[in-house]
Amino acid sequence: MIKIQTIYVKVRHWFFWYGVYGFCNKSCNDEITLYSDKGQKKFLGYFELTTEQSLKYLLKNDMDIIGDDKDYCDEIEGFINGKQDIHYFYIYPRDSEVDSLSRQVSHFAPTNIDGYKPVYIDMWTKLSKSWDIDEIKKSVRMLAKDFLYLDIEKVELIDIPNYEETKLSYEQDYLPYVK
């Protein structure tokens, strides 16, 4: 385990910030990018964070549970009904998708039977009901330990929009679709 001072986190969705500033409910599914520098030059990893609540919604509203999505749905149901608090779901490249081979993660991750690393890692959790800054930091500490073999002292969010920017984005990009 390598000890580092700070890991920097960029949250990729405005919905997270809408919830943080109280414009709507807190988000339950977010994508984050991790860096070892504030200037975002030293990429460490990209992850999706998904709460149990979001997985239940996905099963009920967005998935074909008996068709094309059956295996994925079965894995979600296994997690929801199981005893684990954290589960990692991996999407691996397919042989026919040459481009996806170049998108394999560079950090530690389990390989599939073809020896490929995932192109996408999703962290499913029962430990968080929704995402706020503290919950993101807690999850980043777990991801840093499990995948990057890093013991970090501090987690710092970067590119944080201020209240006014967030309100403007909410009013322009979200409100017109819910009215």
The residues that bridge with 87 in the sheet, in sequence order, are: 124
CA 91 vs. chain centroid, Å, equals 13
Which helix (H) or strand (E) element contains residue 121? Answer: strand 120-125
Q: How confident is the model over 61-94, as pLDDT tens digits?
A: 876 666 677 788 889 999 999 999 999 998 888 7
> Could you count the other beta carbons within 10 Å of the beta carbon of residue 110?
11
The percentage of the chain sitting over the pLDDT mark of 90, rounded to a whole number, equals 60
Residue 3: closest CA among 144, 145, 151: 151
Residue with tokens 């608090």: 85
Binning pLDDT at 50, 70 and 90, where does residue 97 land? Answer: low
More confident residue, 112 or 124: 124
Extended beta strands in the chain, E state: 2-11, 29-35, 43-51, 86-91, 120-125, 150-157
* CB atoms near residue 129 (< 10 Å): 14
Q: Report how far residue 107's alpha carbon sits from residue 121's, in angstroms, rounded to the nearest whole number.
A: 11
Segment 22-33, tens digit of pLDDT: 999 999 999 999
Is residue 135's pLDDT more than 90?
yes
Least confident of 83-92, 102-111, 142-151: 102-111
Cα 102 versus chain centre, distance:
20
The predicted model scores a pTM of 0.86
Angle at 115 between CA 107 and CA 86, to 5 degrees: 55
Mean pLDDT of 86-115: 80
The DSSP call for residue 85 is: S
